[in-house]
Amino acid sequence: MYYYNHTFTSNYTPDESSRSDSESDGSIIIDADDNSTANTDNETDDSDDDDEGIEYDSIHNEDSSHFYSEKEHGKYYIGLCHLQITPNFILWLLSTSVSARSFLRHSYDNINNYLYYYGLVRIPRCKVQIMQVQRLPDETCAVIIKTYWLRLVQRQWKKTYRKRKMMLRNRMHPTAQQYKQIHGYYPPHISRMPSIRGMLSKYVKYTS
């Protein structure tokens, strides 16, 4: 135990009579075990950080060929991008990317953190994006974010799936079954089953 003499005023209560004489004299007692516990906690935190660093380094070593490869104009990549604003233009620039193989092999959180730590800039509240690279005349890698198409596909498929369930329910109706037995097909309003093909056709005008 280590003793440090320091006089202080405290709210002493009778219940505290079991303390040592050194404490009553105004001495502060610091137990060496407390320090060891605090050091153990710090070492645990450091070990966790080291484990995370090892995880990111492992992803980087595994994906180094993609990381250092030249990004091609018009190609699609998975990664992070950051916004650059100047008086003349506003651009989304490629920060870093990861191959599809590594993206599918590791958890989303690990990939997101790996891209954050290995990116050109530290992007707050970063989210993995699907990007199309546009190489500028000065070889700057600008990008067009395409991730929103996933949301559109999910939204449209939910609507299409709901229509399919309703149509299947209508086809099981006795009158619909009788109509099919007589004519060889279902009534016109339930004859054509909606599918994934063509469900995004209404967005064609926005891509042309």
More confident residue, 197 or 5: 197
Mean pLDDT confidence for 5-9: 40
Using an 8 Å Cβ cutoff, are 66 and 98 in contact? Answer: yes
**What is the structure's pLDDT at 145?**
92
Q: Dump pLDDT digits (tens) for 95-118.
A: 999 999 999 999 999 999 999 999
Burial class (CB in 10 A: 0-12, 13-18, 19+), 55: middle
Please calculate the CA angle 118-103-59 and round it to the nearest 5 degrees: 45
More confident residue, 1 or 127: 127
Using an 8 Å Cβ cutoff, are 134 and 144 in contact? Answer: yes
More confident residue, 52 or 150: 150
Burial class (CB in 10 A: 0-12, 13-18, 19+), 61: exposed
> Residue 92 pLDDT more than 80?
yes
